[in-house]
Amino acid sequence: MMKDNIIIREVHIDDIDLLLQWREEVLRCVFSIPADADTTDLVQSNREYYQRALANGSHVACLAEENGVTIGCGGLCLYDEMPSPDNPTGHCAYLMNIYVHPDHQGHGTGKCIVRWLVGVALSKGIKKIYLETSESGRMLYRGLGFSDMKDMMHLSF
């Protein structure tokens, strides 16, 4: 069921404290960080990232609101890679931090956030958009046209 009263709005530097609250909730959820764990340094690093990236336009952040209450968030990292036949401009976007509070999941908010962020990328001429997903998010992204990539590897330290 898709709700009609979901509003997606871009977040600017003056909303950084609210954005950081949501980022911390995402980090705690995704990385299973206990509620009593000290995340002061991590939050400060995210503050510095947002201050730099929102100012220079390399990151676009948004919040989802329903009836004036923030219920989710999302982000888009904009960057360049070497141009190639499948991406002649080299411009890319990386979807991240897509999150909807558990009390509001399953009603189309995640889909609204992703569509809004993809629209931002497309408006900038970006047609190569990446993301990482959990198993629980895979169906959402497939339903929006994303497909699994083959031949990708990751080096962890």
pTM of the complete model: 0.92
Residue 153 inside a domain? The answer is no
What distance in Å separates the CA atoms of residue 132 and residue 43, rounded to the nearest whole number? 21
For residue 115, the domain's CATH number is: 3.40.630.30
The reply to whether 34 falls in a domain is yes
Domain presence at residue 156: no
Q: Give φ, ψ of 150 to 5 degrees.
A: -105, 165
> Would 1 be classed as within a structural domain?
no
Please give the pLDDT value at position 147: 92
Q: Indicate the number of domains in the chain.
A: 1
Residue type, 11: V
Query: According to the model, what pLDDT value does residue 26 have?
Result: 93
Rounded alpha-carbon distances, angstroms, from residue 95 to 38, 67, 125, 133, 157: 27, 25, 15, 10, 23
pLDDT confidence of residue 137: 87
CB-count burial class (<10 Å; 0-12, 13-18, 19+) for 65: middle
Whether residue 25 lies inside any domain: the answer is yes
Q: Does residue 115 form part of some domain?
A: yes
Exposure string of 74-112, with b = 16+ CB inside 10 Å and e = fewer, is: bbbbbeeeeeeeeeeeebbbbbbbbbbbeebeeebbbbb
The pLDDT averaged over each successive group of 10 residues in the chain (157 residues) is 80 96 94 93 97 97 96 97 94 96 93 97 95 89 91 81
User: Is 81 among the domain residues?
Assistant: yes
Residue with tokens 């871009």: 10
| pLDDT at res. 1 | 44
**Do the domain assignments include residue 149?**
no
Across the strands, what pairs with 70? Answer: 65
Domain that holds residue 66: 6-143
Q: What is the pLDDT of residue 154?
A: 74
